[in-house]
Structure 1
Amino acid sequence: MRLTRRRLLTAAAAAAMALPRRAWTATTLEGGGMRLDTLSDGRLELPPSFLFGTLPEAEAAEVMARHGLSPDAPLIAPCNVTLLRSEDRTALFDVGAGPDFQPTAGELPAALDALGVAPEKITDVIFTHGHPDHLWGLLDEFDEPLFPEAALWMGGTEFDYWTDPATAGSIGEARLAFYAGASRRLEAVADRMRRIADGDVPLPGVTARLTPGHTPGHMAFDLGQALLVGDCIGNGHVAFSDPAMALGSDQAPQEAAETRAKLMAELAASGQALIGFHLPEGGIGTVRTEGQGYRFAPA
């Protein structure tokens, strides 16, 4: 496999040449008859309590200090959407946050434009799970499908969870807007959604793996040269140093910790690359053993 990094710049319109240009960093992984590019959808800014609110106060303070995180500053989570291109497919894994979630996210359309990939050329969209930063970019600002020609793929357990009215009563107040946004978008494309299960192969060279805990039906995807992990490994610091720690960013923290610890050990032993939606430096790298835990080694 071959890894490269590059900068993608959008040129300002002729009438606005004085405006600053936006830049996206892409990491590219090539091998096995496919090319993978990670494109930035921007970033999330999250209160530290979103991640560490389930920990005792003293333990949360110690963990944050160990990783150079401030309890008085937001956690910055990069958002890496993966584009797969093969001989006959142009596929996205997740679609970013769209225009309605956080103002610091929703940049995928501009990043695709910078790469020269038109939305109507996307043949497939494959979802890891239904959280806003992964799903809400499915519709544009006019509530029209942004990728009108694409086949849509999602784990059946995940689709059922976000379209079940009972979820509104069980998800908790803090995530109730997540349910409302997901159900509206999934209902708009329900007739196009193709349900997949653990072990299914939605595209040649792409195998689904059920990795529950972050959400009930979260999926990772084995691409041969890399494992695309979505949010089951959801950050580049504490998820690596303490993978068995239950974190508030996961809907089922203990189940998510068990999934994460198992994957971390597997990836460290195999040397297979991973692609993480919220990992730094473009999101592609490897897992290295460090002390009693691990560290992320970016490509």
Structure 2
Amino acid sequence: MTVNRRVFIAGLAAAGMAPAVSRAKSGMPGQLTLGEMQVMTLSDGHLTLPRSMLFAGLEPGAVDQILQARGVAAGAIHPPINVTLLRHAGRVVLFDAGSGPGFQSTAGQLTAALDTVGLAPDEVTHVVFTHCHPDHLWGVLDDFDDPLFPNAQYLMGEVEWEYWFDPNTASTISGDRASMAVGARRRLEAIEERLSRFGDGQEILPGVAAHASYGHTPGHMSFELRDGQKSALIGGDAIGNHHVSFAQPGWAIGTDQDVDLAAKTRFRLLDMLAHDQMQLIGYHLPNGGIGRVETAQNGYRFIPAN
């Protein structure tokens, strides 16, 4: 089934109808090299989120001022979805799996993006998860509800796994997120036999270390990539946008489950990234999501790589 779906996507590409890959050409945004590590981001499309989902409880005028200064248009927010692809030591590793066909119509384009860079889903050797929200986990299943990456090993933080695999989560999480919990458990059941769990600080693959960044979800993980003196942080949704969360890291973001802990995590990561000048790879950041963090007035700013 996977092969047939790939042939179908390839046909769309030939007709000029396939979704775009996030900057796959050398020298363009969306790529970096860390020693022997080759890293790029692939586009799974974008989300459409009402401002009330992100900024409820914040002063609208203050939010608008930040958004306008960063060129964000009025109305809904349209964050990009950047899935990180790592090629290293014979491994083909994805960090998160995108949205798949069951979430928003503007998302779920990862298979087409893989095809554009000459990869089939069965060539992916590992899928590493930051957390279990739909735009990160639901893409593990294809249009036919079969595993999209049939040869991959899956890796997830122990705390995140325990939370979303618990059947009680659907009844204890806030009501508007119950369907997310049900959907997460269904997909975790489908990949359970091929999934390994890890803790904070573990080197889960050569040169890839887990970095606890809780708050957005109970067990959210970021990942440090390091080869020699070069390093980068795959931040997932710990820093979920390039505007409010940089200018005012302490402000509550509505998509975070524990807003206070998430704000503390943001401050810590932003301070580390700015101080160490470590590159950041952000799941919902612009221009392919790769850039650096700089201090700015009382907050920070994101500087895309290109």
Same fold (TM > 0.5): yes
Selected match of 1:24 from 6, 21, 26: 21
Distance 1:188 1:241, change over 3 A: same
Give the whole-Å Cα distance in 1 for the aligned partners of 2:277 and 2:36: 20
Identity of aligned residues (%): 50
Structure 2 gaps of 5+ residues are: 1-8, 24-29
Map 1:177-196 onto structure 2 (within 5 A). 177-196=179-198
Give the whole-Å Cα distance in 1 for the aligned partners of 2:132 and 2:154: 13
Distance 1:279 1:13, change over 3 A: same
Give yes or no for the alignment of 1:263 onto 2:269.
yes
CA contact (8 A) 2:100 2:141 kept: yes
Distance 1:168 1:264, change over 3 A: same
Q: Which amino acid aligns with 2:124?
A: I
Partner in structure 2 of residue 231 of structure 1: 237
Partner in structure 2 of residue 167 of structure 1: 169
CA contact (8 A) 2:63 2:244 kept: no
Give the whole-Å Cα distance in 2 for the aligned partners of 1:209 and 1:130: 16
Partner in structure 1 of residue 95 of structure 2: 93
Provide the secondary structure at the position in 1 that maps to 2:205.
coil
Give the whole-Å Cα distance in 2 for the aligned partners of 1:260 and 1:209: 13
Give the whole-Å Cα distance in 2 for the aligned partners of 1:275 and 1:229: 6
CA contact (8 A) 2:85 2:92 kept: yes
CA contact (8 A) 2:295 2:301 kept: yes
Provide the secondary structure at the position in 2 that maps to 1:148.
coil
Partner in structure 1 of residue 292 of structure 2: 286
Q: Which amino acid aligns with 1:92?
A: L
Give yes or no for the alignment of 1:123 onto 2:148.
no
List 4+ stretches of structure 1 deviating above 3 A.
11-17, 19-22, 56-71
CA deviation string 1:43-92 (max 9, x = no partner): 00000011101325555455555555566x11011000000001221100
Q: Which amino acid aligns with 1:125?
A: V
Partner in structure 1 of residue 139 of structure 2: 137
Give the whole-Å Cα distance in 2 for the aligned partners of 1:12 and 1:211: 37
Partner in structure 2 of residue 6 of structure 1: none
Q: Which amino acid aligns with 2:51?
A: P
CA contact (8 A) 1:98 1:105 kept: yes
Deviation at 1:32, TM superposition (A): 2.4
Give the whole-Å Cα distance in 2 for the aligned partners of 1:254 and 1:43: 26
Partner in structure 1 of residue 3 of structure 2: none
CA contact (8 A) 1:54 1:247 kept: no
Distance 1:70 1:13, change over 3 A: closer
Deviation at 1:14, TM superposition (A): 9.5
Partner in structure 1 of residue 6 of structure 2: none
* RMSD (Å) for aligned C-alpha atoms: 2.1
Distance 1:284 1:70, change over 3 A: closer
Partner in structure 2 of residue 254 of structure 1: 260
Aligned residue pairs total 288
TM-score by length of 2: 0.89
Deviation at 1:193, TM superposition (A): 1.1
Provide the secondary structure at the position in 2 that maps to 1:191.
helix
Moved more, 202-211 or 51-60: 51-60
Provide the secondary structure at the position in 2 that maps to 1:103.
coil
Distance 1:197 1:64, change over 3 A: same
Give the whole-Å Cα distance in 1 for the aligned partners of 2:290 and 2:225: 13
Partner in structure 1 of residue 52 of structure 2: 49
Give the whole-Å Cα distance in 1 for the aligned partners of 2:61 and 2:76: 19
Provide the secondary structure at the position in 2 that maps to 1:223.
strand
CA contact (8 A) 2:67 2:243 kept: no
Give the whole-Å Cα distance in 2 for the aligned partners of 1:171 and 1:177: 10
Moved more, 169-178 or 94-103: 169-178
CA contact (8 A) 2:12 2:18 kept: no
Selected match of 1:176 from 156, 175, 178: 178
CA contact (8 A) 1:285 1:296 kept: yes
TM-score by length of 1: 0.91
Provide the secondary structure at the position in 2 that maps to 1:42.
strand
Give the whole-Å Cα distance in 2 for the aligned partners of 1:208 and 1:84: 15
CA contact (8 A) 2:51 2:77 kept: yes
CA contact (8 A) 2:214 2:262 kept: yes
Q: Which amino acid aligns with 1:285?
A: G
Give the whole-Å Cα distance in 2 for the aligned partners of 1:266 and 1:47: 31
Structure 1 gaps of 5+ residues are: 1-10
